[in-house]
Structure 1
Amino acid sequence: MKVAIIMGSDSDFQVVEKGYNILKDFGVEVDVRVISAHRTPDEAINFAKNAEQNGYELLIGAAGKAAHLPGVLAGCTPLPVIGVPIRSTELDGLDALLAIVQMPPGVPVATVAINGADNAALLAVQILSIKYEDLRMKFKEYKKQMAEKVIEKDKKLSEKLANN
């Protein structure tokens, strides 16, 4: 299991780090790179074209502003691409969201919320879990623990309100 997280700028790592940590926690091998669709387009294209033969099974592209990186990656690889719009302008990330989600027919990019690197990582885990049963079991346990936390919070709130 190998995933690449490609960022348009090193400043994006403060958002991407959450997703990186989630993937590592699930035992997924992760490489993180800074490759710009605009400033290093040849590198972006070459990375995407060679991603499959380099052992990657899924790519996560994170970018702000014009945010063409996930689309460039998707246009050059048969692998699934998840786009993470980064909040980086006075438009509050809506520019990046629209740039990533509005892909033309035939070039899909799964898109998560603005600054949603955690959900991008979890979606990557879900996609990979189709092939890797151990990953699916870990994801089921993750969902179970998440539900247990909500149930516990509900219980504490009910007790607090009952004592008022």
Structure 2
Amino acid sequence: MAVVGIIMGSDSDLPVMHQCAQVCEDFHLAYDLAIVSAHRTPHRMVTYAETAHQRGLRVIVAGAGGAAHLPGMVAALTPLPVIGVPIASPHLQGVDALYSMVQMPKGIPVATVAIGNATNAGLLAVQILACGDGDLLKRIQTYRQNLTQQVLEKQERLSQQGWRAYLNP
């Protein structure tokens, strides 16, 4: 049964939102992935959001560009935590979507990550779920330790090679 809902306003958001699905797969979390447009399928959005917790979802990641109403509207309709992913659009490069998500009124929070960063949205979903799952908590700690190790290895390589060789392998 899916515990993470990953939704997007359009299939054009999939090149970004697949990052969240990949994180779920990396952490062995079941997810569902759906196109749910706040503007073109509003009744579908309402049904999806209102029944999400009944279907076993525990967190929703919603990606949207432009007016970016999807994360906020879903947050208004569900008791679950919602993480917004602003998607870059050709005209305003995602700043419009970012502002839409971070300017939610008091009482209806949407956790928001950087423009186009569905990887961080997936990791935040993992961290939320890890609050009640000791095994998942250990896996996120291992993930973080691996990030630290990667940086230390890069620093070692930079120290040994110098910046010119590092940039031109």
Give, in whole Å, the separation in 1 of the partners of 2:102 and 2:39: 18
5 Å-filtered alignment, 1:77-88, equals: 77-88=78-89
Q: CA RMSD of the aligned region, Å?
A: 1.5
Deviation at 1:160, TM superposition (A): 1.1
| CA deviation profile, 1:78-125 (whole Å, cap 9, x unmatched) | 000000000013111000100111100100000000001000000000
Counterpart residue number, 1:104: 105
5 Å-filtered alignment, 1:33-44, equals: 33-44=34-45
Counterpart residue number, 1:9: 10
Counterpart residue number, 1:151: 152
Give, in whole Å, the separation in 2 of the partners of 1:14 and 1:161: 35
Give, in whole Å, the separation in 2 of the partners of 1:89 and 1:4: 26
Deviation at 1:161, TM superposition (A): 2.5
Instruction: Report % sequence identity.
Output: 48
Deviation at 1:67, TM superposition (A): 0.3
Could you tell me which runs of 5 or more consecutive residues in structure 1 were left unpaired when the two chains were aligned.
none
Counterpart residue number, 1:129: 130
Q: Helix, strand or coil: the match of 2:34?
A: strand
Give, in whole Å, the separation in 2 of the partners of 1:161 and 1:64: 41
Instruction: Give the TM-score taking structure 1 as reference length.
Output: 0.97
Counterpart residue number, 1:69: 70
Counterpart residue number, 2:58: 57
Q: Helix, strand or coil: the match of 2:107?
A: coil
The count of residues paired between Structure 1 and Structure 2 equals 164
Give, in whole Å, the separation in 2 of the partners of 1:41 and 1:130: 32
Instruction: Give the TM-score taking structure 2 as reference length.
Output: 0.94
Counterpart residue number, 2:33: 32
Runs of 4+ aligned structure 1 residues displaced above 6 Å come to none
